[in-house]
């Protein structure tokens, strides 16, 4: 099938990168996570409950909602942390892109490894700016807050188109569709990757592939 | 058309829509409570969480929603709307946003009710959770408490957007197609906040530019009615009895937090009590924050009880007594300054016999002449207090200068009386009659500082006028902490009033000045001779300066 791809762009100040990324990634994952499946006999299953949490940003005038799952939060924070570090190391210009990709695994016969077929990719382009004084920072706080609000509305709009979603799997297939490693929620299988563009706009040759969920068996 | 839909499906669909509507209202109202919402994920399904989401049910909200729906379901032409409005402490109110759950005729016959529709409704609720934090009213609701509160109203039927002013924006949360129609959830929000009084808000064109008073604290939201983490059994009525709802305009969040103690003056109005024990919790929903801190702050709120107790039963709060209600000076300490009858503390004058029943007055603040003056003015004050008791709520509501929370429609709680010894003594963990000792509420006297507000709020006239003329005023009694003075045991207000018009300096008085010039000139030669005699002393002095 075609993988749909969405791009979101933001310009933030250095210390806002973490929170801006978290806000958007968590908003997407909120919509792309369900409760844990409990399969019963006859192929039916019941679904656990997803709790939510409001998170206030410290450097942005913004509050976002995320799934109440510490494990998931840790994983996302780790990825965002690495992205931020890479951004910081790349040089003063600070442009990069972090991608959240939802995929399905397709089992292949041996000796081929499983295929990962993405069905939705969210790319968040970040432009880091440097601000000179406190007043500009204050304005930036509010402006970025508004911008993130718009992004959340965009995300919700896309999700509400109700386009392709993987079919609900049977018990044997559930790991091909969902990430079942977390104990309280079950997001669709996802991976987060990032790219840093240097000031010349060219993609740095090392495109780091950070696998949150290990999919390369071989 | 509906024959395509099996009866089981139809029943399911109706149930889904009904509970979706109820959950939508819960999400919206909870998002405007003014605090962060946090619910837990649970991997084992309890079967009680609709749409697999942990959304608590506030009983009143459910009740209100069911009342509005009156057994019907949102349908074509019958929309369910939740209107969020803001009400200032002065009584102005303004609609901020209207969330509409509508249905149109576009049907999706092929969709599976029990599975796809359910999951999409769940997704829509998640989107609602996200969007409710994004609209401008969210920020306003997080800062509510002192100057304004956020209210909600649920109605069913036609959508009314007229109250949102011109240029309102709409954001669509999402749509879910069902075999009987397409459900849409959207929000129309106001962008023009210009009506806000400039005293409290800055007028700016972009809605985000509203600046709320900087000292508004994060309020403690009302958690009193929220369910502890129990989930409602799906499909059951809550069956919970709770305080009846009088009108459909309910206070959505009740942040009964106090104004920060550092804020200016505290106004105390009539202090009628049955007893001087602080009934702080009367009628108020307790913020279930659980921290000692919240209790402390909560209990330091001042308000008053409705004057149903009889005007004669006035107990003078010792705090305002602060030694003398009537005398400004302890005789003999200031020597020469005439004693003036003090403007009686507004609204409450102890019958003298009641004073001992109050918490012990600071012995250093006693005034031996209080008893006599007390009895003189008691009558005046009782009369004036009685006169005022007729319409206390109106008078007092309009003049709350202390930001005691805007829910002044239902005033409650009590003033406590105390004399304060130690500043900040109250901040040690204590019970609820903390208010009596709370230095922020009743700080020790400070004769040294004069509050300009004292003057403005009190006429400086005789005690007679103070009764009637101050019907619209509440007494302002400002006692800064740490400013305790044993030497001059009077309260600041009286001190200020007394010394506002000091007598003229002798040297400036006109009678003397006419002569002084001539005398000065005449005495000059003598003075010069004296100085010349002492010239060595002067020289020595000048040397020490260098």
Q: What is the pLDDT of residues B261-317, one digit of tens each?
A: 333 333 333 333 334 343 333 333 333 333 333 333 333 333 333 344 333 433 333
CA-wise closest residue to A8 among A121, A174, A102? A121
Task: Name the DSSP letter for residue B217.
Answer: P
Tens of pLDDT along A146-165? 999 999 999 999 999 888 88
Instruction: Compute the Cα dihedral for B140, B142, B148, B149 and give only its sign.
Output: positive
Please state, in angstroms and rounded to a whole number, the distance separating the CA atoms of residues B364 and A6: 75
Q: How confident is the model at residue B9 (pLDDT cuts 50, 70, 90)?
A: confident
Pairing outcome for strands A4-13 and A115-129? parallel
* Location of structure tokens 């002393």: B537
CB contact under 8 A, B115 and A153: no
User: Quick one: pLDDT at residue B502?
Assistant: 73
DSSP conformation letters of B246-306:
-SS-EES----PPPPTTSS--EE---B-SSSS--TTTTPPPPTT--HHHHHHHHT------
A162 to chain B, closest Cα gap in Å: 8
Closest residue in A to B55 (Cα–Cα): A51
- ipTM value: 0.90
A22 to chain B, closest Cα gap in Å: 14
Contacts of B365 by beta carbon, 8 Å cutoff, 6+ apart: B322, B323, B324, B419, B445, B489
- For A17, the 3-state DSSP assignment is helix
Q: Are A157 and A150 in contact (CB under 8 A)?
A: no
Q: Tell whether B309 is within 8 A of chain A (Cβ).
A: no
3-state SS record for B174-194: EEEEECCEEEEEEEEECCCCC
Please state, in angstroms and rounded to a whole number, the distance separating the CA atoms of residues B8 and B120: 19
For the ranges A122-131, B128-137, B395-404, the lowest mean pLDDT is seen at B395-404
Which of B38, B120, B172 shows the shortest C-beta gap to A162? B120
Q: Give me the mean pLDDT over the B167-172 stretch.
A: 90
Percent of chain A topping pLDDT 70: 89
Chain A residue numbers with beta carbons less than 8 Å from the beta carbon of B129 are 30, 52, 65
Please state, in angstroms and rounded to a whole number, the distance separating the CA atoms of residues B288 and B428: 20
Q: Are B25 and A17 in contact (CB under 8 A)?
A: no
Whole-angstrom CA distances from B533 to A120, B525, B526, B539 are 105, 12, 11, 12
Please state, in angstroms and rounded to a whole number, the distance separating the CA atoms of residues A186 and A71: 11
Tens of pLDDT along B107-121? 878 887 778 889 999
Q: Tell whether B262 is within 8 A of chain A (Cβ).
A: no
Mutate to test the interface with B, among A24, A54, A60, A72 (most CBs of B within 10 A): A54
- For B476, the 3-state DSSP assignment is strand
Judge whether residue B92 has pLDDT over 80.
Answer: yes
CB pairs under 8 A between A and B: 122
B25 to chain A, closest Cα gap in Å: 16
Computed over every residue of chain B, the mean pLDDT equals 61
CA-wise closest residue to B237 among B118, B66, B72, B101? B66
ω into residue A111 within 30 of 0, thus cis?
yes
Q: B394: how many CB neighbours lie within 10 A of its CB?
A: 12
Chain A residue numbers with beta carbons less than 8 Å from the beta carbon of B131 are 152-153, 156
**Quick one: tokens of B220?**
């403690």
Please state, in angstroms and rounded to a whole number, the distance separating the CA atoms of residues B474 and A27: 49
CB contact under 8 A, A51 and B54: yes
Please state, in angstroms and rounded to a whole number, the distance separating the CA atoms of residues B212 and B193: 12
Between B510-533 and B535-545, two packed helices, what is the crossing angle to 10 degrees?
90
Q: A138: how many CB neighbours lie within 10 A of its CB?
A: 12
Tens of pLDDT along B349-383? 434 434 343 344 344 444 444 444 434 444 443 34
Q: Give me the mean pLDDT over the B225-244 stretch.
A: 33
Tens of pLDDT along A162-201? 888 888 888 888 889 999 999 999 999 999 999 887 655 4
Q: How confident is the model at residue B471 (pLDDT cuts 50, 70, 90)?
A: low
Please state, in angstroms and rounded to a whole number, the distance separating the CA atoms of residues B39 and A72: 15
Ranked by mean pLDDT, the top range of A66-75, B286-295, B385-394, B505-514 is A66-75
A140 to chain B, closest Cα gap in Å: 13
Please state, in angstroms and rounded to a whole number, the distance separating the CA atoms of residues B164 and A177: 45
Percent of chain B topping pLDDT 70: 42
A39 to chain B, closest Cα gap in Å: 11
Q: Tell whether B40 is within 8 A of chain A (Cβ).
A: yes
Q: Are B482 and B332 in contact (CB under 8 A)?
A: no
User: Quick one: pLDDT at residue B77?
Assistant: 84
Query: Does the predicted model carry a pTM greater than 0.90?
Result: no
Which of B134, B175, B231 shows the shortest C-beta gap to A160? B175
- For A151, the 3-state DSSP assignment is helix
CB contact under 8 A, A65 and B130: yes
A75 to chain B, closest Cα gap in Å: 17
Q: Are B305 and B414 in contact (CB under 8 A)?
A: yes
CB contact under 8 A, A49 and B41: yes
Nearest 5°: the CA angle A210, A211, A215 is 150
Closest residue in A to B119 (Cα–Cα): A34
Please state, in angstroms and rounded to a whole number, the distance separating the CA atoms of residues B268 and B216: 20
Please state, in angstroms and rounded to a whole number, the distance separating the CA atoms of residues A44 and B372: 87
CB contact under 8 A, A54 and B38: yes
Q: Are B333 and B487 in contact (CB under 8 A)?
A: yes
Which of B44, B45, B130 shows the shortest C-beta gap to A30? B130
Please state, in angstroms and rounded to a whole number, the distance separating the CA atoms of residues B477 and B197: 26
Please state, in angstroms and rounded to a whole number, the distance separating the CA atoms of residues B24 and B100: 10
Q: Tell whether A91 is within 8 A of chain B (Cβ).
A: no
A86 to chain B, closest Cα gap in Å: 29
List helix spans (H) across B32-148.
59-69, 118-132, 136-142
Nearest 5°: the CA angle B102, B105, B107 is 110
A65 to chain B, closest Cα gap in Å: 6
> 151-170 in A: which are within 8 Å (CB) of B?
152-153, 155-157, 159-160, 162, 168
Q: Tell whether A54 is within 8 A of chain B (Cβ).
A: yes
* Location of structure tokens 């206030």: A56
Mutate to test the interface with B, among A27, A38, A49 (most CBs of B within 10 A): A49
**Quick one: tokens of B247?**
């009108």
Q: Tell whether A139 is within 8 A of chain B (Cβ).
A: no
Computed over every residue of chain A, the mean pLDDT equals 85
User: Quick one: pLDDT at residue A158?
Assistant: 92
CB contact under 8 A, B208 and A145: yes
Task: Name the DSSP letter for residue B413.
Answer: -
φ and ψ at B28, to 5 degrees? -65, -50
Q: Which residues pair with A123 in a beta bridge?
A: A7, A99
**Quick one: tokens of B225?**
């009615």
Q: How confident is the model at residue B480 (pLDDT cuts 50, 70, 90)?
A: low
CB contact under 8 A, A35 and B45: yes
**Quick one: tokens of B135?**
């609209």
* Location of structure tokens 């951004």: A87
Task: Name the DSSP letter for residue B333.
Answer: T
Whole-angstrom CA distances from B360 to B313, B318, B355, B356 are 19, 8, 8, 7
Closest residue in A to B42 (Cα–Cα): A49
How distant is the alpha carbon of residue B278 from its chain centre?
A: 18
CB contact under 8 A, A162 and B45: no
CB contact under 8 A, A168 and B115: yes
B45 to chain A, closest Cα gap in Å: 4
CB contact under 8 A, B130 and A27: yes
Strands (E), A57-167: 63-67, 95-106, 115-129
CB contact under 8 A, B45 and A38: yes
Chain A residue numbers with beta carbons less than 8 Å from the beta carbon of B186 are none
Buried b (16+ CB within 10 A) or exposed e, B206-218: ebeebebeeebbe
Please state, in angstroms and rounded to a whole number, the distance separating the CA atoms of residues B382 and A79: 71
Please state, in angstroms and rounded to a whole number, the distance separating the CA atoms of residues B78 and B535: 103
Closest residue in A to B187 (Cα–Cα): A153
Please state, in angstroms and rounded to a whole number, the distance separating the CA atoms of residues B394 and B388: 10
């Amino acid at each position: 099938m075609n993988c749909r791809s969405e791009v979101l762009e933001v310009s933030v100040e250095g210390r806002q990168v973490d929170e801006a990324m978290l806000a958007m990634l968590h908003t997407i994952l909120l919509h792309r996570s369900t409760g844990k499946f409990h399969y019963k006999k006859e192929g039916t299953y019941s679904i656990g409950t997803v709790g939510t949490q409001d998170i206030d940003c410290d450097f942005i005038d913004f509050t976002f909602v995320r799934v109440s799952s510490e494990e998931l939060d840790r994983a996302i924070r780790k990825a965002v942390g690495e992205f931020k570090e890479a951004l910081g190391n790349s040089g003063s210009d600070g442009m990069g892109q972090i991608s959240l990709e939802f995929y399905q695994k397709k089992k292949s016969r041996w000796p081929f490894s499983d295929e990962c077929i993405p069905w939705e990719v969210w790319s968040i382009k970040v432009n880091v700016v440097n601000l000179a004084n406190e007043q500009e920072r204050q304005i930036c706080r509010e402006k970025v807050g508004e911008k993130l609000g718009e992004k959340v509305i965009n995300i919700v709009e896309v999700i509400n188109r109700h386009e392709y979603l993987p079919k609900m799997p049977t018990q044997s297939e559930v790991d091909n569709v969902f990430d079942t490693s977390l104990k309280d929620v079950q997001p669709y299988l996802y991976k987060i990757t990032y790219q840093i563009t240097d000031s010349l706009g060219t993609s740095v040759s090392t495109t780091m592939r950070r696998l949150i969920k290990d999919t390369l068996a071989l | 058309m509906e024959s395509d839909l099996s009866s089981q499906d139809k029943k399911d669909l109706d149930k889904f829509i009904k509970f979706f509507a109820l959950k939508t209202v819960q999400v919206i109202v909870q998002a405007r409570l003014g605090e962060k919402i946090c619910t837990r994920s649970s991997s084992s399904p309890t079967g009680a969480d609709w749409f697999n989401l942990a959304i608590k049910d506030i009983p009143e909200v459910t009740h209100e929603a069911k009342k509005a729906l009156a057994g019907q379901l949102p349908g074509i032409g019958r929309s369910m709307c939740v209107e969020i409005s803001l009400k200032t402490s002065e009584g102005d109110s303004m609609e901020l946003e209207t969330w509409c759950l509508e249905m149109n005729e576009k049907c999706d016959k092929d969709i599976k009710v029990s599975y796809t529709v359910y999951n999409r409704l769940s997704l829509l609720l998640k989107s609602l959770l996200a969007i409710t934090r994004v609209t401008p009213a969210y920020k306003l609701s997080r800062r509510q408490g002192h100057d304004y509160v956020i209210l909600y109203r649920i109605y069913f039927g036609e959508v009314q957007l007229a109250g949102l002013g011109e240029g309102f924006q709409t954001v669509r949360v999402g749509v879910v197609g069902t075999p009987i129609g397409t459900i849409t959830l959207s929000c129309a929000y106001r962008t023009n906040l210009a009506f806000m009084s400039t005293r409290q808000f800055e007028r700016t064109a972009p809605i985000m530019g509203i600046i709320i008073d900087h000292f508004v604290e994060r309020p403690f939201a009302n958690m009193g009615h929220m369910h502890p983490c129990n989930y409602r059994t799906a499909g059951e009525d809550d069956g919970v009895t709770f305080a009846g709802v009088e009108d459909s305009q309910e206070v959505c969040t009740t942040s009964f937090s106090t104004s920060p103690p550092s804020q200016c003056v505290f106004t105390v109005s009539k202090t009628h009590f049955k007893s001087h024990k602080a009934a702080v919790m009367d009628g108020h929903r307790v913020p279930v924050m659980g921290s000692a801190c919240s209790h402390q702050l909560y209990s330091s709120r001042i308000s008053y009880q409705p004057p149903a107790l009889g005007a004669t039963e006035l107990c003078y709060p010792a705090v305002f007594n602060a030694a003398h209600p009537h005398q400004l000076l302890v005789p003999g300490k200031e020597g020469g300054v005439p004693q003036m009858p003090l403007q009686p503390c507004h609204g409450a004058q102890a019958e003298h016999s009641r004073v001992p029943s109050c918490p012990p007055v600071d012995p250093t603040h006693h005034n031996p002449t209080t008893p006599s003056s007390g009895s003189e003015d008691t009558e005046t004050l009782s009369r004036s207090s009685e006169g005022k008791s007729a319409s206390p709520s109106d008078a007092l509501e309009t003049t709350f200068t202390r930001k005691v929370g805007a829910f002044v429609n239902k005033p409650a709680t009590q003033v406590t009386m105390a004399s304060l010894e130690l500043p900040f003594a109250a901040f040690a963990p204590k019970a609820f009659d903390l208010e009596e000792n709370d230095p922020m509420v009743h700080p020790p006297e400070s004769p040294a500082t004069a509050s300009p507000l004292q003057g403005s709020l009190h006429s400086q006239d005789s005690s007679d006028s103070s009764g009637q003329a101050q019907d619209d005023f509440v007494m302002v009694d400002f006692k800064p902490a740490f400013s305790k003075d044993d030497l001059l045991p009077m309260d600041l207000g009286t001190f200020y009033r007394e010394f506002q018009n000091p007598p003229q300096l002798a040297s400036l008085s006109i009678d003397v000045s006419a002569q002084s010039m001539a005398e000065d000139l005449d005495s000059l030669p003598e003075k010069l001779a004296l100085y010349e005699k002492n010239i060595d002393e002067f020289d020595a002095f000048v040397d020490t300066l260098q």
